[in-house]
Amino acid sequence: MNMMNLKEIKEFLSGKDDNTLFHEADKVRLQIFGKDVYIRGIIEFSNMCREDCLYCGLRKSNRKLKRYQLTMEEILEGVELAGMNNIKTIVLQSGDDLSYNKEFIGKLIEEIKKRLDVVITLSLGERTYDEYAYWREKGAERYLLKIETFDEELYKKMRPGKKLEDRLQRLEWLKELDYEVGSGIIVGLPGQDLDSLTNDLRRLAELDLDMIATGPFIPHPETPLRDYPHGDVNLSIRVIALLRIMNPYSNIPATSALASLHSDAREKGLKAGANVIMPSLTPKRVRLLYNIYPGKNESCQCVIDEINYIKGIIEKAGYIPSDSKGYSPRRLYA
């Protein structure tokens, strides 16, 4: 089934047979990952951004957002929380904020590795080859750089001044540097139709990724897309299932965007093939300011409560919270 053609993908996206789709996806994830669900602790250390993406609340044109930047010590406090809760993967994420330069991020990676035996994932947007190489050398092992859409015209419209080919080039650089590489798409982006989404799934599979993240579009009131409807949760779950079937060895999260639209959507995502959840370890005083979309980081204000809440979701879905570093098995089977 993982060799599906475009017609079959589109039929399943249309809701042709959800029971078969979800059952097959769950079967595939059980074969590869068993019942383990990997927990990745994410620290969102800056909401400053030089970009002006139409769908994102962090866009530079959003003058109403209170901006913040964490110091190295503040970031390391979040890292210590991960250690205390036996979380073995740290995700360092920010807007495209160049004030955190190559050396700062390099030093941060070194400090984390000194203190804890963890895997470091970076999600810092578009940087130079030299920066990516330096951070890999310092000990970062994974990098997440989402595409959002493979439709070139839609991409140009949604990310003013940006080209899809430049984003794809960076994914190639990251692969060349031997990162575990992740990307992903938004489901229900204004201007996206089922044909476009079908093509997105095919293109993602062709990239042969270690991680694939997807979530529904959620309109932000301080963006030009404020009046568009949010993405469909059921369609987003189908996308997760299809991604699992087409990319059996990739790590796929049940994202916080799902939870923002429906309280049990992450549980459904796990049952449809997802095998990762990422609780926020961002300090309480700023976590609501990492406002990519409405509802983000609102489930729990306390980090410990959030981690326990996440574990509860995993267990309710019938799976086991894992303290594994969760390396991608894709390379074992490549």
Cα first-last separation, the chain? 18
If 0-12 CB within 10 Å is exposed, 13-18 middle and 19+ buried, where does residue 43 land?
A: buried
Pick from 226, 200, 181: nearest CA to 10 = 200
Rounded Cα–Cα distance for residues 241 and 144 (Å): 20
Longest dimension (CA), the chain: 51
Q: What pLDDT score does 200 carry?
A: 98
Rounded to the nearest 10 degrees, the angle between the axes of helix 233-246 and helix 194-206 is 30
Rounded Cα–Cα distance for residues 22 and 27 (Å): 8
At 140, list the tokens.
Answer: 């970062």
Question: How many of the other CB atoms lie within 10 Å of CB of 311?
Answer: 17
* Total number of domains constituting the chain: 1
* 277, part of any domain: yes
Rounded Cα–Cα distance for residues 187 and 170 (Å): 22
Pick from 315, 329, 333: nearest CA to 39 = 315
Rounded Cα–Cα distance for residues 300 and 294 (Å): 14
* 283, part of any domain: yes
Domain around 156: 6-326
* 21, part of any domain: yes
At 325, list the tokens.
Answer: 């570093």
pTM: 0.96
Rounded Cα–Cα distance for residues 40 and 141 (Å): 14
Rounded Cα–Cα distance for residues 244 and 21 (Å): 10
Coil vs helix vs strand at 230: coil
Q: 122: domain CATH number?
A: 3.20.20.70
17: left (phi over 0), alpha (psi -120 to 50) or beta: beta
Q: What pLDDT score does 294 carry?
A: 83
Each of the 334 residues of the chain gets a pLDDT tens digit; together they read 466 899 999 999 999 999 999 999 999 999 999 999 999 999 999 999 999 999 999 999 999 999 999 999 999 999 999 999 999 999 999 999 999 999 999 999 999 999 999 999 999 999 999 999 999 999 999 999 999 999 999 999 999 999 999 999 999 999 999 999 999 999 999 999 999 999 999 999 999 999 999 999 999 999 999 999 999 999 999 999 999 999 999 999 999 888 888 888 999 999 999 999 999 999 989 999 999 988 787 766 677 888 999 999 999 999 999 999 999 997 776 5
